[in-house]
Amino acid sequence: MTSAYREILIIIIAAIIVLIICFLIATVARRILNARKYIILDEYREFYRKKISEALQSGRTAELAEDLRSRAQSLTWRAIEEVLFEQLALAAHETTIRRLFQQLGYRDHYEGKLKSKRTIVKAAAADKLGKMRSESSTASLVKILNTEKEPEILTVTVRALCRIGTPEALQGILARLPELYKKSLVSQKTVDASLINFQADAIPLITAYGEQIADPRIKASLLEVLSHLPATATSLTFAESNLRSTDAEVRARAIRVFGRRTVEGVSRPELLLPLLQDPVWFVRLQAARAIESLKWEKAVDDLGSLLLDPNWQVRNAAARALAHIGNASLDVFLNILQDRDRYAKESICEEAERTYFIQWLIANLASGDAGIREKSRGILKIMHALDFSTPLREYMKNGEKDEIKREITLLMAENVSPAGGPDPRAIADSSGTQGDARTA
């Protein structure tokens, strides 16, 4: 072996040994430093938690600001910051805490950090300003939004502005939104999830901006936000104006705004009916869900037509909506269940079980209203023929009312085919594999 090879190997081994020693020292040193740091931090937190809490209770916040002054980034400074964030989350002394953040220099410190060139430092500073709901930092954050190109910083800044929640913050975001979306600098999900931090007072601003903007992605985001805020006349008007949008996502989200109301609160629920026939499946889905939320009985026939929809999610949503509407939908259920489409019938039966509508139907067997009783009986009979009879058997085992048990016994004896007529398979199987899962 040549000495050159030997030397190379020895150098490599030596380098590895040095690296091992470095890792060992780093591991041990990190643990020692962290252990010391967190012990002190825990003590400080405990101390300042008590002190700040007492001062807030007694209203002696002017002296408190003097007492809490400390060097930026020191352990005391960090402990006080954490305690103030804890107090801010309690919301009892929000204004005082926000003022303390300002007086103690936290706001200025983090605003200064916004000028850093390091992504993590900048993003962390924006996040802190957002968490302390520093309204006076809105301009600095909006400036970041307008000048920054790093997606990570932009994402955090959008979230921070949404936490601050001022009209200026919203205006700043909305003004920059087209470019953020165009250049894919922030994900739509992030914007949607953050914008819902704005409260109902943001609705006029959102709708006013939405009326000016043509970009369907932005409109969809705005409608998404409105769908999570209390529905007002303004938001409903804006949603109404977008129900006929050429963009399916916009139509679907406009429908969701309707779902925030009861049917009495919506002036024109009939606007939803044509959307039940929309060519795009998720628009039909949202329409069915909105009607379910509205519990709008007049829509039962239109919902009934969705029970035969080519998309299973739409069928399920329609079945769920009908089940939710209750007795008013019995006729529709009965009509569809007497149809020949087994697929649709199974979807309905499944939803009737999943939503526990079947329990309602069983209870109806003792109803004083003969019409309701017969319709419920008819539905249960067909469900039984389709093997959706486990709840019936459960009632026979554990149910309380003898009258209902008698009805169940009778209807289980009168087997009908899944298509409506007598079903030889059901008769043959009547003591066998009921309740087994069907495979289609």
Partner 1 sequence: MKALLISFALGFNYFVGIYYGVVSVLYTVLLSIALVVILRHIHRVKYEPFREYSASPETPSVSILIPAYNEEKVVVRTIRSALAVNYPLFEVIVINDGSSDRTLEAVISAFNLKKIDLVYRNILRTIPVRGFYSNPEIANLVVIDKERSGKADSLNCGLTVSRSPYFCSFDADSILERDSLIKLMTPIMESNIPVVACGGVVKILNGVTLNDILISEIKLPRRALSLFQIVEYARTFLFGRMGWNALNSLLILSGTFSLFNKTAVISVGGYGKGNTTEDMEIIVRLHEHYLRKRKPYRIRFISDPICWTEVPESMKMLGRQRRRWHLGLLQTMFQYRSMIFNPRYGRMGLLVMPYYLLFETLGPLVELVGYFAVVCSYLLGLLSTDFLLLFLTLAIFYGAFLSLSGVFLAELTYRRYPKWSHLMKLLWYAVLENFCYRQINSFWRTQAIFQFLRGKSAWEHVADKGVDMSGKVSHYEP
Of 345, 347, 354, nearest to 382 by C-alpha is 345
Closest CB to partner 1 among residues 302, 346? 346
- Closest approach of partner 1 to the CB of residue 391, in Å: 7
Rounded to an integer, what distance in angstroms lies between the CA atom of residue 347 and that of residue 111? 57
Tokens 């997606």 belong to residue: 151
Closest CB to partner 1 among residues 20, 69? 20
| Torsional class of 435: left (φ above 0), alpha (ψ -120 to 50), beta (otherwise) | left
- Closest approach of partner 1 to the CB of residue 241, in Å: 23
- Closest approach of partner 1 to the CB of residue 292, in Å: 15
Contacts of the segment 189-193: beta carbons below 8 A, 24+ positions apart: 190/155, 190/158, 190/159, 191/158, 191/221, 192/221, 192/224, 192/225
- Closest approach of partner 1 to the CB of residue 68, in Å: 22
Q: For the purposes of burial, counting CB atoms within 10 Å of the CB of 366, is it exposed (0-12), middle (13-18) or buried (19 or more)?
A: middle
- Closest approach of partner 1 to the CB of residue 20, in Å: 5
Task: Report H helices in 295-389.
Answer: 300-306, 312-325, 330-337, 342-354, 357-364, 370-385
- Closest approach of partner 1 to the CB of residue 242, in Å: 19
- Closest approach of partner 1 to the CB of residue 159, in Å: 6
Closest CB to partner 1 among residues 120, 270? 120
- Closest approach of partner 1 to the CB of residue 253, in Å: 12
| Torsional class of 128: left (φ above 0), alpha (ψ -120 to 50), beta (otherwise) | alpha
> 218: which 2 tokens?
């932005």
Closest CB to partner 1 among residues 153, 294? 153
- Closest approach of partner 1 to the CB of residue 3, in Å: 10
The DSSP code for 36 is: H
Closest CB to partner 1 among residues 299, 333? 333
> 132: which 2 tokens?
């302390």
Closest CB to partner 1 among residues 370, 437? 437
Question: Buried b / exposed e across 190-213, counting CB within 10 Å, b at 16+?
Answer: bbbbbbbbbeeebbeebbebbeee
Provide the 10 A C-beta neighbour count for residue 403: 10
Asked if residues 256 and 284 have their Cβ atoms less than 8 Å apart, the reply is no
- Supply the DSSP string of 373-407, one letter for each residue: HHHHHHHHHHHHHTT--HHHHHHHHH---HHHHHH
Q: Is 60 helix (H, G, I), strand (E, B) or coil?
A: coil
Interface residue list for partner 1 (CB under 8 A): 1, 5-6, 9-10, 12-13, 16-17, 19-20, 23-24, 26-28, 30-31, 120, 123-124, 126-127, 151-152, 155-156, 159, 184-187, 189-190, 192-194, 196, 224, 228, 312, 346-347, 349-350, 353-354, 356, 387-391, 394, 435-440
Closest CB to partner 1 among residues 159, 271? 159
Tokens 């003004």 belong to residue: 175
> 205: which 2 tokens?
């601003």
Closest CB to partner 1 among residues 193, 328? 193
Rounded to an integer, what distance in angstroms lies between the CA atom of residue 320 and that of residue 184? 37
Rounded to an integer, what distance in angstroms lies between the CA atom of residue 164 and that of residue 166? 6
Closest CB to partner 1 among residues 370, 440? 440
Closest CB to partner 1 among residues 133, 299? 133
Rounded to an integer, what distance in angstroms lies between the CA atom of residue 66 and that of residue 196? 37
- Closest approach of partner 1 to the CB of residue 21, in Å: 10
- Closest approach of partner 1 to the CB of residue 82, in Å: 12
Closest CB to partner 1 among residues 187, 293? 187
